[in-house]
Amino acid sequence: MDPVISTASSAHPAAPPGPTGTDQLKGSLGATGITAMVVAAAAPLTVLTGIAPLAIAIGGIGAPAGYLTAMVVLAIFAVGFTTMTRLTGGAGAFYSYVTLGLGRSFGAAAGLVAIMSYNALQVGVYGLLGLQFQATVARLTGLVLPWWLYAFAAIAVVWALGRRGIDIGAKLLGVLLAAETAILAVLAVSIVAEGGANGLHLTSFSAPALTDPGLVGILGFCFAAFAGFESTALYRREARDPERSIPRATYGAVAFLGLFYAFVVWAVIQGLGDADARAAAGANPVALFTSVMDRYAGAWATDVMAVLVLTSVLAAQIAFHNAINRYSFTLAKDGLMPAALGHAHPRYASPARAGAAQSVLAGVVVAIAALIHADPYRQLVIFVNTPGAIGVMLLQTLTSIAVVVYLRRRPDVSALVKWVSVLASVLLAVATGLLVRYVGLLTGAPTSTNVVLVAIVPAALLLGIVLAQLLRTRRPDLYTRIGGES
C-alpha cells in the first residue's frame, strides 16, 4: 500500500498540470446558492413524507431526537471537513481529502465508492419519482400512465438542466426548495396553532423517549436524510469567494436540515398525539403526512403538498446529478475514469459529457426495471438506494479519519480542531455500524439479500484500491494524478 501524501512542500499530491481553457468549470455561486443545491439534494419534503413516518413507527416519539443527533455529529464532522477545504482547496471532496490523508490507493477507492453511492441514490429515486408523478397525475386528472414514462421524462429534464450549467440549476433549486419548505412550515405551524391533538408537549426529548430501543435503529435513517450535504466542496470551482462560501454553506445545510427535520417531525407527533403517533405511523406510513395535513391545514394544502412532493424529488435528482457529474469530471481528469468525461462544455462550462453519461446510465437502469416489471419502490428505490446510503456513511467515516491523519501533520492547525476530528471519526464509525446492523429495517429483505446489498460497498472500495495499484505499476503518470487538483 502506498504511503500518505506528504505535505512538506504542497497541500496537494504531485500531479501534472491540469488542462486549461474550456476544460474548466465556471460559475458564480454564493453560500446561499450552494446551500440550496445541497439541501435540495437531501429533498426535505420527500424525506419527511416518505421516510419520517417509518422513523416514527420504529423509533417512537423520540424520532425528532434522532435527526438532532445526526445534525450534531455531522456538524462535528464539518469542523475538520471545512478545515481541509480551506487548507487544500480540493474540489473532489471525499475523494481529494481521503487521498491527502490516507494515500492514493484509498483515495481512488473513495472516488469509486462516491461515484457508486451517488449514482445509486440518484438512479434509484427515479422509481419513487415515477410512482409519485403517476399517483398525483391520476388523482388530479384521472389519467393513468406507466411510472417509467415519468421517469424517462425526468431523466431528460435533469440532463438538460445539468448541461446548461450550475447557475440556472441553483436558481431553480432555490425556488423549489423555498416552496417545499413553505408547505411543510404550513403543516407544522397549523398543528402548533391548534395545540396538537392533546396539547403541546416536549416528551419527545424526555428520558423514556430517548432510551427507546427503536431510536438506535433509526439513526441510519436520520443520517441518510442529510445525504449530499458534504457536496458543498464539489462546487469550489464554481463558487464566489470559496474560502467563505463553502464553510458557510456546509454549516448552513447541516443546521437547516437538522432543525427543520426535528421541528416538523415533532409537530406531526403532536398532531397525532404522543400515545397514538407510533401506531398511526406503523399502520399507514405512506399516507401519514397527508392525513395530518388534511386534518390541520385542509384539503387545499394536501393538494399543494402532493404537487410539491413532485418538485422536491425532481430537485433532488437535479442536485445529485450535478454532484455526480463533478465527481466524474474530477476523477476523469485524474485518470480514474475515461478521459472524455473530463471535458467541460465549450459554451456552458459544465461537465456536459459526464452528465450525458450519468443520464444514459439512469435511462438504462429504468429501462431494465420496466422491462422486467420490477417493483419501482421495493426493488428500484429501496434496493438500489441502500448501497448508496451505506457508501456515503462509509465515505464520511473514511474522510474523517483522513482528516485526522492529515491535520496531525499540520502544526498550523489548532489542537481543538484535531481532537474534534477524532471525535467525529468515532461517532461516524458507530453510526455506520448501526446502519449496517439495522439495514433490514430499511429493506425489509431476507438476510441473504441484505448481505449482497451491503457487500457492494466494500467491493467498490476494493476495486478502487486494485485500480490504483494497477495504475501505479502500469501508468505511473496517471497514478500521480490521483487526488490532484486539476
Pick from 231, 243, 389, 399: nearest CA to 323:
231
Mean pLDDT lowest among 19-28, 129-138, 207-216: 19-28
The stretch 117-123 carries a mean pLDDT of: 90
Count other Cβ atoms within 10 Å, centred on residue 229: 28
Mean pLDDT lowest among 124-138, 197-211, 223-237, 422-436: 223-237
The stretch 324-352 carries a mean pLDDT of: 79
Residue 10 pLDDT > 70, yes or no? no
Residue 243 pLDDT > 80, yes or no? no
Residue 68 pLDDT > 60, yes or no? yes
Residue 254 pLDDT > 80, yes or no? yes
Higher pLDDT, 453 or 214: 453
| pLDDT the model gives residue 59 | 87
pLDDT > 90: what percent of the chain?
A: 38
| pLDDT the model gives residue 5 | 45
Q: What is the pTM of this model?
A: 0.80
> What CA–CA distance (Å, rounded) separates 246 from 232?
6
Cell of 410: 499540520
Mean pLDDT lowest among 85-99, 136-150, 280-294, 307-321: 85-99
| pLDDT the model gives residue 401 | 96
* Type of residue numbered 482: I
Q: Between 63-88 and 94-102, two packed helices, what is the crossing angle to 10 degrees?
A: 70
Burial 263-283 (b: 16+ CB within 10 A, else e): bbbbbbbbbbbbeebbebbee
| pLDDT the model gives residue 238 | 58
| pLDDT the model gives residue 348 | 66
The stretch 141-168 carries a mean pLDDT of: 86
Higher pLDDT, 165 or 68: 68
Residue 15 pLDDT > 50, yes or no? no
Mean pLDDT lowest among 79-83, 104-108, 195-199, 219-223: 219-223
| pLDDT the model gives residue 366 | 96
Residue 3 pLDDT > 50, yes or no? no
* Type of residue numbered 450: N
> What CA–CA distance (Å, rounded) separates 316 from 231?
13
User: What are the Cα distances from residue 202, in Å, to 71, 119, 209, 269?
Assistant: 19, 39, 10, 10
> What CA–CA distance (Å, rounded) separates 359 from 476?
31
